[in-house]
Structure 1
Amino acid sequence: MAGAGDAVEILPVEEDVALDWETELEQGNRDSADELRHYQSSDFATLQGEINALHREITSRDILLRKLEESVTRLSEDIAPLKDYVTAKMQEEAHSARSQSSGSSEGGASQDGDQGTEEEENNRAQNRCVDVMMSLTEIRENNEEKTQKVRGFYEKIYKASPFTSLMLTFLERNRGVKVLIDCDSSNISNLVRRLVNLDGEKCDGTAFHTFTDFFQCTVYLGGKTGQYEVYERNQYVHKNCDPEVSLAQSLAQMVMYYIFKNRGCPYGCDDAMYEKLYEKILLETSQKKTSGACVDDLINYALNMKSSLAREVTLISVIPGMLVKYGSKGGMSRLLDQKPLLTLFFMQHVIPKMTN
């Protein structure tokens, strides 16, 4: 047994064990370091991939947004020529009215034979179009008075604006729509009991002045002037609902359905550019309303729809609705003032499709 000051002798076997343990420890440390570097490298590669993917997504989004901004800018720049067009159209109509008045004072003879011929051709085109629309229309408990009333609806829509007459002409040529009208009621409850609206809600017919059933290609209309309630200046106000305005909007929605085949939206299912542009216009419209800017009741109604689909389908139909409600001059003036981009979208995207 060794004493207190004796040196401890390390046997060769013990020395070998100690060296092996140190070697294993160093190797384990190296393995751990290598494994850590591997994980770090793997995590970095994954992170780098995610960053690259995000960068590509942001870049694509920036490109799309830049294109959208350019489209909106181009639309904004086109407002001035549109106003010039409206002014020229109003002057043309005023000149036509003066010529008709002058001709009447001289026994109805027209001072301009060519103008008289053009006017006669326009009247024939209008009568032909209205006749076709009447043939596509079924009036509940019909009589001569109701027939003339409904015919007046179509005549007013046709005369309201070149855009609304084009809309009826499109329907005249396609002849796929069916219109059901109840002249004795301001709602459609006698025509259809229950339906599912664009918000996906099951509703009773009493809730609608008009309704567009895309799947049945049918428009329902309460042909009697009714009232609706709106909140203005901290109070509820009752306003009239004109059947011809409601009819114009529903027919416009059906035209959108025929042209774009996309649930009544004013763009094709695979047309991402115009879809994003229209969404941007809708957002701009909603923000303008939120800011307290004055907008028409028809616009308010469209924006108050619950679902995005309902808002998109209803908003585009505001344009023919306002043209019929206020006339060509008054309607276009309000549209250019309140919704210029929407108006340009309608003119540059929808009208060419309707024409073709």
Structure 2
Amino acid sequence: MASNISASGAEKFVEERILAGLVTGSLLQHKELLDTLQDVDVRHARQRTLLQVGVGLGKTDWVEELLARGADTDITDDSQQNALSSAEEMVRQFPEDVECLKVLNLVTLVHRRDQVILHRLKASSSRSTDHVTPMASPQCDIASLKSSVDSLRREMKSLVRRLSSSLEEFKSLACGRDTLLCCLEEAVTSTAEDVTLIKRGLCGESCLSQPASDPSRARWECVDAMMRKTRIMYGSGADGMRRLYERLYDGDECTACIIKFLSGDDWVRVMVDLKSDHIGRMKEKVVSLDGAQMNGTEWYSFCDFERETVYLGAKDCSGNSEKEVCSRLAWALSQLSLKLVFGNEGRPYSEGDVECEREWIRALEELEKRKKRGERLDEWISFALKQSTWLARINYLTAAVPCIMAFDGSTEGRARLQQNAPLPLSPYSNNVMGTLLSKAKVGLTSISHAFFITSWSSLKHSNH
């Protein structure tokens, strides 16, 4: 098959497809793709391997499959954690999660097996060295051991490559179908053009005017993506959580843009306790943006920047209490979106954006004056002003805007902000919302479809 896509580009695409499948898809749907992977220990974001990502997500079936394919449990990521330490950390955080415990048992067994193999190789190397060079140094033994392990890994990867080669041979049998597929595409295109001409003749141009996208489908995809990122640790009530996300999406554009942005981030997670109104059981200790260490029982919701995880206590997310829980969720999700979109430690502007920084400084100064005059401020804004560091004050103040919207609704929320705190609303609407929407990622289905269309077009032109 003629193609202008480089081998490295194709391999990169396979790696991205597998990573996407690991995050959101089924193992059965991606086993054939795994067979074509050259290196099962390929690194991804933050130097994590597929095994480390699977451990962090609690995907037992994926972890088992990757370990069976020779995934290394000792490789460390940017935070110097390997698969075993990550699995142990997940169990410490979520001791009642059965999947986390299964993942830990799998990784522990394979890690112990590897250690036994290394020990035997080391003993064998030492015995052979005793016969040849009695004065051999420990450094030589270690070098020999590493060489043996590397040799084993190369053999495993060679087997994977041979399997991939066999798959390529099978695929080559289907290459002769390309011509038929091209003809089919041309026939379909021609038919579509004929139908278009008929429609124009019968109904006029107005019959052809359709919206560029389906808003209801976009809403469903965003909410569904957020539900896949959500793990209910205690209690049950997926319908209640879906209502919260739908409320944020439908309430106002300033809360909708947060859902639209975060739904496209593969690493975001939301941990929920439906049996408590605080997060203490999920996260015993937290460190606020002020640097203060506090108990999780003191927080209704919390944003962990390091792990890109939001924790929510949602004991009662129905009836009159729904808007209260929704506002707590909006507060934490807003903080995380600021950190991810601007990359400036959670501030609502990019590093070096002096003009936008001045806008927020003016907003804080105006609110400080109102506070000194004894004016009554919203509790979320008052909480932001109590913080001792600039980072905490500016992040919490920004998060207060969508939080108030989520509680009061769009009309009342905006009226309340205009009356009590008009200055934060302006930079949020002008800078934060626009940046979130502009950087919101399309869904994985759309990405795959766009890549297919581009690749198909390239292949067709190269064949011609």
TM-score (norm 1): 0.60
What residue is the counterpart of 1:249 in the other structure? 331
Give 1:129's match in structure 2, choosing from 217, 222, 244.
Answer: 222
Deviation string 1:45-98 (CA, Å, 9 cap, x unpaired) is: xxxxxxxxxxxxxxxxxxxxxxxxxxxxxxxxxxxxxxxxxxxxxxxxxxxxxx
Letter of the structure 2 residue corresponding to residue 133 of structure 1: M
Post-superposition offset of 1:276: 2.8
SS at match of 2:272: strand
Displacement of 1:193 after TM fit?
0.9
Where relative contact order (Cα < 8 A, 6+ residues apart) is larger, the structure is 1
SS of 1:221 mapped into structure 2: strand
Aligned to 1:282: 364
Contact 2:235-2:275 within 8 A present in 1 as well? no
* Separation in structure 1 between the aligned mates of residue 238 and residue 322 of structure 2, nearest angstrom: 22
Tell whether the 8 Å contact from 1:225 to 1:242 is kept in structure 2 after alignment. Answer: no
> Contact 2:334/2:399 (CA < 8 Å) preserved in 1?
yes
1:199 aligns with 2:199: no
| Contact persistence 1:182–1:188 (CA under 8 A) | yes
Give the match for residue 220 of structure 1: 311
Residue by residue over 1:265-314, the C-alpha shift from the partner in whole angstroms, topping out at 9 and shown as x without a partner, is: 10122223322331221111111122122321221122122322211110
> Whose radius of gyration is greater, 1 or 2?
1
In structure 2, the partner of 1:273 is 355
Query: Paired residue for 1:296?
Result: 378
Residue 277 of structure 2 is matched in structure 1 by 186
SS at 1:174's partner residue?
A: coil
Aligned position for 2:251: 160
Question: Counterpart in 2 of 1:326?
Answer: 408
Which deviations, in whole Å up to 9, do the C-alpha atoms of 1:93-119 show, x marking residues without a partner? xxxxxxxxxxxxxxxxxxxxx9xx97x
CA, structure 1 residues 187+241, in 2 after alignment: closer, same or farther (shift >3 Å)? farther
- Residues in 1 aligned to 2:364 and 2:310: alpha-carbon distance in whole angstroms: 25
Count of residues in Structure 1 that have an aligned counterpart in Structure 2: 227
Alignment check: 8 A CA contact 2:268 2:309 kept: yes
Q: Is the 8 A contact 1:212 1:254 kept in 2?
A: yes
Q: The residue matched to 1:173 in structure 2 has which SS?
A: coil
Q: What amino acid does structure 2 have at the position aligned with 1:134? A: M
Which amino acid is 1:257 matched to?
Answer: K
Name the CA distance, whole Å, in 1 between partners of 2:226 and 2:370: 37
- Percent of residue pairs bearing the same amino acid type: 30
Tell me what 1:169 maps to.
260
Runs of 4+ more than 6 Å apart: none
Aligned residue for 1:219, secondary structure, equals: strand
Of residues 205, 228, 232, the one that matches 1:139 is 232
1:251 is paired with a residue whose SS is helix
Contact 1:225 1:241 in 2 (8 A): no
Contact 1:166 1:355 in 2 (8 A): yes
Taking the aligned partners of 2:389 and 2:401, their CA distance within structure 1 comes to: 20
Structure-1 separation of matches of 2:389 and 2:229: 31
Q: CA deviation at 1:240?
A: 10
Give the CA RMSD over aligned residues: 2.3
CA deviation after TM superposition for structure 1 residue 155, in Å: 1.1
- CA shift at 1:142, angstroms? 4.8
Q: Partners in 2 of 1:163 and 1:271 — Cα distance? A: 21
1:121 is displaced (CA, Å) by 3.4
SS in 2 for 1:317: helix
Preserved CA contact (<8 Å) 2:323 2:406: no
| Equivalent in the alignment of 1:51 | none
Q: Is the counterpart of residue 337 in structure 1 residue 439 in structure 2?
A: no
Q: Partner residue of 2:430?
A: 348
Q: Is the 8 A contact 2:347 2:391 kept in 1?
A: yes
Deviation at 1:183, TM superposition (A): 0.7
**Deviation at 1:241?**
8.3
Tell me the CA shift for residue 122 of structure 1: 2.9
Give me the whole-angstrom Cα distance separating, in 2, the residues matched to 1:223 and 1:278.
Answer: 31
Counterparts of 1:83-122 in structure 2, within 5 Å, are 121-122=214-215
Deviations 1:121-179 (A, max 9, x none): 33322221111000001111353xx1111111111111111221121011112233111
Distance 1:297 1:222 in 2: 19
> Is the CA contact 2:323–2:407 (under 8 Å) kept in the aligned structure 1?
no
Give the distance between the partners of 1:253 and 1:140, measured in 2 at CA: 22
Maintained 8 Å contact 2:356/2:427:
no
Deviations 1:240-285 (CA, angstroms, capped at 9, x unpaired): 9821111111111111101111111101222233223312211111
1:22-33 equivalence runs, <5 A: none
Aligned residue number for residue 240 of structure 2 = 149
Q: TM-score, structure 2 length as denominator?
A: 0.46
Query: Does the 8 Å contact 1:303/1:311 carry over to 2?
Result: yes
Alpha-carbon shift at residue 225 of structure 1 (Å): 4.5
